């Protein structure tokens, strides 16, 4: 039976570059719709973990990543189609500038017919605001900019100059400079949602500011067509996988967890900061902020358990911060050094600047896996990588994949649905051990 197309109100929130306030505006729109009793689903373009945490809180619904390369057009289409079946409104937050990157937010908007509302930081700007709006609206015919929002306006007189410059591009309104609704950040991006004690108050204040500014989204209906995704293999049926989840380990794609469950795994969560290692058939240690919790990790009760699990050949996948927590030691950006779990020989050192980022692919025993890297640390290890990733960006630096028995450790954040078979092999039992320690 062929599924019918689904119609749903939808919009993409984009900007000329990072830093214009896309996430705050997207979250405000989502919370406003939720407070009005609408069912809203948010998505985030690109490989991002922090913005989706904020958008999940704002919308009260799960948030997934959309990326034409990492997720694939078929995967994106399936996610949007599913959302259209349950939502009154779909809001997609773009990444970087509207036309930045390959693939870009504009590519996604053009592929799925998503209308675009541009958010432009109006700080220290007058009529030039309109020139930027005009450029975004006319740069590419297949991308339909249906309105523009001025962010961080200095008041009524300032807003009047913004309107004056926009011409034929619909000006939807201007939001004031208000610290009470801004979302704080650190070196990897926004703070995690659970770290912001007054987040709900900030979101409600941001939602209310839309009414005060008279901002309403253009109600554009988009037709979403179905895409049949092959069923995942059931290679993990009956397997118990424990997933690290706390303030130090939180960078995980929701789609990764969904896939593990669809392959038959039972997932439980634990905190390496406070909990002993639970009994499980496999462990998933995603990225996060281990460098902010050096003392707790240096004395964490899970250390003996994870060393024993790796020694007996239990499958473990450790990504970025998860890998750093398994090293002999980790040094933070201020020079403080602490011992880690001592499973992976080597040392990590946090840097003041970004070390590597971008979309990557890597060949694993089960096939090619896609994902991304984004880190501020360097690694020194005597281990030889068993594989190295390839960056989508020309000239990009690859990342090593390291093995210790059934532990797979890397800076890469894998997107498991890009290759379910390879994912199954990472966690499945009875794979020949590779000893490199």
State whether 183 and 252 are in the same domain: no
CA dihedral 174, 52, 12, 163 (to 10 degrees): 10
State whether 49 and 137 are in the same domain: yes
Is residue 198, in this structure, part of any structural domain at all?
Answer: yes
Inform me whether the pLDDT recorded for 180 exceeds 60. Answer: no
pLDDT band at 427 (very low <50, low <70, confident <90, very high): very high
Exposed, middle or buried by CB within 10 Å (0-12, 13-18, 19+), for 402? buried
**What is residue 4's DSSP assignment?**
P
State whether 17 and 119 are in the same domain: yes
State whether 206 and 253 are in the same domain: no
Predicted pLDDT at 432: 45
Inform me whether the pLDDT recorded for 196 exceeds 90. Answer: no
State whether 194 and 267 are in the same domain: no
Is residue 234, in this structure, part of any structural domain at all?
Answer: no
State whether 198 and 267 are in the same domain: no
Give the domain-ending residue among 167, 193, 224. Answer: 224
CA pair distance 24, 421, nearest whole angstrom: 37
State whether 61 and 201 are in the same domain: yes
Is residue 200, in this structure, part of any structural domain at all?
Answer: yes
CA pair distance 409, 262, nearest whole angstrom: 23
CA pair distance 13, 149, nearest whole angstrom: 10
Give the domain-ending residue among 192, 224, 256. Answer: 224
* CATH number of the domain bearing residue 149: 3.40.50.300
pLDDT band at 225 (very low <50, low <70, confident <90, very high): very high
Is residue 434, in this structure, part of any structural domain at all?
Answer: no
CA pair distance 299, 287, nearest whole angstrom: 19
Inform me whether the pLDDT recorded for 285 exceeds 90. Answer: yes
CA pair distance 105, 100, nearest whole angstrom: 7
Inform me whether the pLDDT recorded for 144 exceeds 80. Answer: yes
Spot the catalytic one: 8, 76, 166, 320: 320
Q: Which two tokens stand for residue 95?
A: 């990444």
* CATH number of the domain bearing residue 260: 3.40.50.880
Residues in the chain: 437
Q: How many domains does the chain have?
A: 2
Q: Which two tokens stand for residue 364?
A: 């694993």
State whether 165 and 24 are in the same domain: yes
Contacts of 369 (CB under 8 A, 6+ apart): 361, 362, 363, 412, 414, 415, 416, 418, 419, 422, 423
pLDDT band at 280 (very low <50, low <70, confident <90, very high): very high
Residue from 61, 304, 21, 65 nearest 185 by CA: 21
pLDDT band at 62 (very low <50, low <70, confident <90, very high): very high
CA pair distance 313, 405, nearest whole angstrom: 6
Q: Between the CA of residue 383 and those of 229, 318, 345, 346, 372, what are the distances in Å?
A: 38, 15, 7, 8, 22
Inform me whether the pLDDT recorded for 358 exceeds 90. Answer: yes
State whether 303 and 349 are in the same domain: yes
Is residue 403, in this structure, part of any structural domain at all?
Answer: yes
Is residue 149, in this structure, part of any structural domain at all?
Answer: yes
Is residue 437, in this structure, part of any structural domain at all?
Answer: no
CA dihedral 77, 79, 81, 86 (to 10 degrees): -170
pLDDT in tens, 303-339: 999 999 999 999 999 999 999 999 999 999 999 999 9
Is residue 390, in this structure, part of any structural domain at all?
Answer: yes
pLDDT band at 422 (very low <50, low <70, confident <90, very high): very high
State whether 218 and 244 are in the same domain: no
Exposed, middle or buried by CB within 10 Å (0-12, 13-18, 19+), for 421? middle
Average pLDDT, the chain: 93
CA 271-189-369 angle, 5° bins: 70
Domain that holds residue 72: 7-224
pLDDT in tens, 199-219: 899 999 999 999 999 999 998
**What is the model's pTM?**
0.94
Residue 370 contacts residue 70 (beta carbons within 8 Å): yes
Inform me whether the pLDDT recorded for 94 exceeds 80. Answer: yes
Predicted pLDDT at 437: 37
pLDDT band at 40 (very low <50, low <70, confident <90, very high): very high
In this prediction, residues 230-259 reach a mean pLDDT of 95
Distance of CA 257 to the CA centre of its chain: 14
The verdict on whether 320 is a catalytic residue reads yes
What is the biggest distance separating any 2 CA atoms in the chain, rounded to whole angstroms?
A: 70
Give the domain-ending residue among 224, 250, 279. Answer: 224
pLDDT in tens, 6-24: 999 999 999 999 999 999 9
State whether 250 and 103 are in the same domain: no
State whether 219 and 253 are in the same domain: no
Inform me whether the pLDDT recorded for 195 exceeds 80. Answer: no
Inform me whether the pLDDT recorded for 228 exceeds 90. Answer: no
Predicted pLDDT at 52: 95
């Amino acid at each position: 039976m062929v599924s019918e197309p689904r119609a749903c109100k939808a919009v993409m929130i984009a900007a000329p570059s990072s830093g214009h306030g896309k996430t705050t505006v997207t979250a405000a729109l989502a919370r406003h719709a939720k407070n009005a009793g609408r069912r809203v689903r948010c998505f985030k373009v690109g490989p991002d973990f922090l913005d989706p945490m904020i958008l999940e809180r704002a919308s009260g619904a799960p948030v997934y990543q959309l990326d034409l390369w990492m997720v694939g057009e078929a995967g994106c289409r399936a996610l949007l189609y599913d959302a259209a079946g349950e939502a009154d409104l779909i809001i997609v937050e773009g990444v970087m500038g509207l036309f930045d990157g390959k693939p870009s937010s504009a590519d996604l908007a053009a592929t799925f017919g998503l209308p675009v509302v541009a958010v432009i930081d109006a700080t220290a700007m007058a009529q030039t605001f309109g020139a930027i709006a005009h450029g975004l609206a006319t740069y590419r015919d297949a991308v339909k900019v249906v309105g523009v929002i001025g962010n961080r306006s200095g008041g009524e007189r300032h807003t009047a100059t913004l309107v004056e410059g926009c011409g034929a591009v619909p000006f939807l309104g201007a939001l004031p400079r208000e610290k009470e609704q801004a979302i704080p950040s650190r070196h990897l991006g926004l703070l995690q949602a659970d770290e912001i004690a007054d987040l709900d108050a900030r979101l409600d204040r941001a939602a209310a500011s839309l009414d005060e500014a008279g901002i309403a989204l253009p109600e554009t209906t988009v037709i979403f067509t179905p895409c049949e995704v092959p069923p995942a293999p059931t290679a993990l049926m009956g397997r118990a996988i424990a997933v690290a989840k706390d303030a130090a380990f939180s960078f995980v794609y929701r789609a990764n967890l969904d896939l593990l469950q669809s392959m038959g795994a039972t997932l439980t969560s634990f905190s390496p900061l406070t909990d002993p290692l639970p009994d499980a058939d496999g462990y998933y240690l995603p990225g996060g902020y281990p460098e902010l919790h050096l003392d707790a990790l240096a004395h964490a009760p899970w250390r003996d358990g994870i060393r024993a699990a790796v020694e007996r050949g239990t499958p473990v996948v450790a990504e970025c911060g998860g890998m750093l927590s398994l090293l002999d030691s980790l040094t933070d950006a201020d020079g403080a050094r602490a011992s880690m779990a001592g499973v992976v020989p080597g040392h990590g050192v946090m840097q003041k600047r970004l070390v590597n980022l971008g979309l990557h692919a890597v060949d694993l025993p089960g096939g090619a896996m896609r994902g991304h890297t984004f880190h501020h640390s360097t690694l020194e290890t005597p281990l030889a990588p068993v594989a190295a990733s390839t960056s989508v960006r020309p000239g990009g630096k690859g990342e090593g994949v390291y093995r210790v028995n059934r532990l797979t450790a890397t800076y890469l954040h894998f997107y498991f649905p890009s290759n379910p078979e390879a994912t199954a092999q990472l966690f499945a039992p009875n794979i020949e051990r590779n000893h490199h320690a």
